[in-house]
Amino acid sequence: MITKDIWTVDAFTTERYKGNPCAVVFDGDDLSADQMQRIAAEMNLSETVFLLPPTVLEADYRVRIFTPRAELPFAGHPTISAAFAMVLSGRFAPEGKPAIIRQECGAGIIPVEIRGDGESRAFIMTQVQPRFRATNTTRAAVAEALNCPIDDVAEPALEAVSTGVWWSIARLSSPEALAALSPDMGRVGDIGTASQTNGICAFSIGALAKGCSVKLRAFAPHLGVPEDPVTGSANGCVAAYIARHGLMDGGPLRYTAEQGTELGRDGRVSVEVTGEHGTEIVRVGGSAVKVLEGKLFI
């Protein structure tokens, strides 16, 4: 019987049982993809991340990331959780301030900047260069999927954005409209499948939480995640969308986003976008806290 050390980490929060939980499996290089997928299904969290030796000199470690149903090339809260686990377990010793840890994943090398010390430590990932593509989804179809009035959905109805993985981005009229959503998960899943994206991330300019400027909710039912509590990849895509369409003040973009409130898992995400159109650099980050550690029997 094989045993592996396993942690659960709550990402994008400093408070246990808030933010987004992620299972982190150490020393997973002797596990098959099928075993990893079965473990992720057993954990039944939005993602489980496996820590592996790097295959390139530029990286400090490598990860494979699985939802309960599929492997992803990149995801945000597993990246934060993996970097946190590497540091807290002593597998990576930060040097200098800020220190940089480099993660190898299916999307390439993701640099993660480590800011601060102790429980206030934050992990800021530089995501992949934003890409955009149109979708053929109508406002009526988005409104039906999200179960909201059509007037709450801005144009364009959906735009697909990737900063490592693709999300269909929908802008809603207000944070109150976003909070009130009760989506039809079958329709959301159909849109995610048809658009070849993780699902629909709906957002609003303006938030309900103090100190936040943007509110998000992310739905990926066809990946086994009806609603993801706090989503680093979707936050990066929304930030790229906001910058591309000039929805906030000009110049470098910097704000805090809220997500997870409707699930009782309030999270906070720090977001930065610098650079000009076509050369944007998107940084997304937050804190993390360990909730559980134990042995996984395989």
Active site residues: 47
Residue 228 zone, left/alpha/beta (φ > 0; ψ -120 to 50; rest): beta
Q: How many CB atoms lie within 10 A of CB 203?
A: 27
Residue found under tokens 């990946």: 223
Alpha helices for 73-174 (secondary structure H) = 76-88, 139-146
Q: How many CB atoms lie within 10 A of CB 228?
A: 30
Report whether the peptide linkage leading into residue 221 is cis, meaning its omega lies within 30 degrees of zero.
Answer: no
> Is the Cβ–Cβ distance between 12 and 288 less than 8 Å?
yes
Does the N-terminal peptide bond of residue 156 adopt cis geometry, omega within 30 degrees of 0?
yes
220 three-state secondary structure: strand
What is the token pair recorded at 171?
Answer: 């802008």
Strand residues in the chain grouped as ranges (E): 3-11, 20-25, 48-52, 61-66, 71-72, 99-105, 108-115, 122-126, 131-134, 159-162, 166-171, 200-205, 214-220, 225-228, 253-259, 267-274, 281-286, 288-297
Q: Write phi, then psi, for 248 (nearest 5 degrees).
A: -125, 180
Would you state the structure tokens that stand for residue 265, as one six-digit string? 């898992």
Q: Which residue has the tokens 């959780």?
A: 81
